[in-house]
Amino acid sequence: MLVDSHAHLDDPKFVEDRAEVLERAWNAGVRTILTIGNGTGPDDMGCGIPIAEASDWIYTTVGVHPHDAESMTSSHLTMMADLASGDRVVAIGEIGLDFYYDNSPRKTQLDAFKAQLELASRLNLPVIIHTRDADQETIEALEEVRPRRGILHCFSGGQALAECALEMGLMISFSGIVTFKTADSIREIAETVPSDRILVETDAPYLAPVPHRGKRNEPAFVVETAARLSGFRCIAGIQEKR
Ligand SMILES: [Zn+2]
Ligand SMILES: [Zn+2]
């Protein structure tokens, strides 16, 4: 049994064949999918709700992605709190910092990140955190507004960020990147995460694991990521808990 802890099932790439995609996931042993509620921007944060309502094994989130931080207003926080009261919404996310693409100004990203961390704490919900090329700023924001629970998704940071997350009680989720040839540094960090704190995800439709690399990713492919991860962790002598 596997959980895909992070997918974007609302993506237009799944419009044509979402039912078949879900059937393949189920047949591959995936029993829970978290579909992320970012959509095309803050007004679309409820995009995962109809998808989650249609399948009892799919849950969703609401949040404003760092790429869209510039379009977030205070009314979106009200909307987020309102949508988060629905029973298919289990977290606030993905939220965070992306200083690789810098699609929104960094200061605006930081403000949106902290405002959503605060909202999640107030609502007692976990957070799904996206962070890229912003390890130090992410650590500082998390130390300022400590989340109660949450996941660092698609981990691509350094050891200090991983240690900070673990020390705060957060989970760390690895994507298909761990199957890429060039990802030795991420595999090394994945070997340091305790079994009860590690998750896998697809981030579908992006980042398909080897041997599907370059194709549209889908939740069934989380099998490859989990197999690779447990393979090298086993070689490293880690006993997995289930
Ligand atoms: Zn992300
Ligand atoms: Zn994502």
* Chain segment 199-211, per-residue pLDDT in tens: 999 999 999 999 9
pLDDT at 48: 98
Based on the number of CB atoms within 10 Å of its own CB, is 111 exposed (0-12), middle (13-18) or buried (19 or more)?
middle
**Ligand 2 centroid to 154 CA: how many Å?**
8
pLDDT at 242: 58
Strands (E), 118-204: 127-132, 150-152, 171-174, 198-200
* pLDDT exceeds 90 at position 236: no
CB atoms within 10 A of CB 2: 19
**Ligand 1 centroid to 97 CA: how many Å?**
9
* pLDDT exceeds 70 at position 225: yes
**Ligand 2 centroid to 36 CA: how many Å?**
7
The sheet with strand 150-152 has its strands ordered as 2-7, 30-35, 58-62, 89-98, 127-132, 150-152, 171-174, 198-200
**Ligand 2 centroid to 13 CA: how many Å?**
14
**Ligand 1 centroid to 154 CA: how many Å?**
7
Whether residue 203 contacts residue 94, with contact meaning beta carbons closer than 8 Å, is answered with: no
Answer yes or no: pTM beyond 0.75.
Answer: yes
- Residue 173: strand pairing partners: 199
**Ligand 1 centroid to 115 CA: how many Å?**
18
CA 74 to chain centre: 23
pLDDT at 228: 95
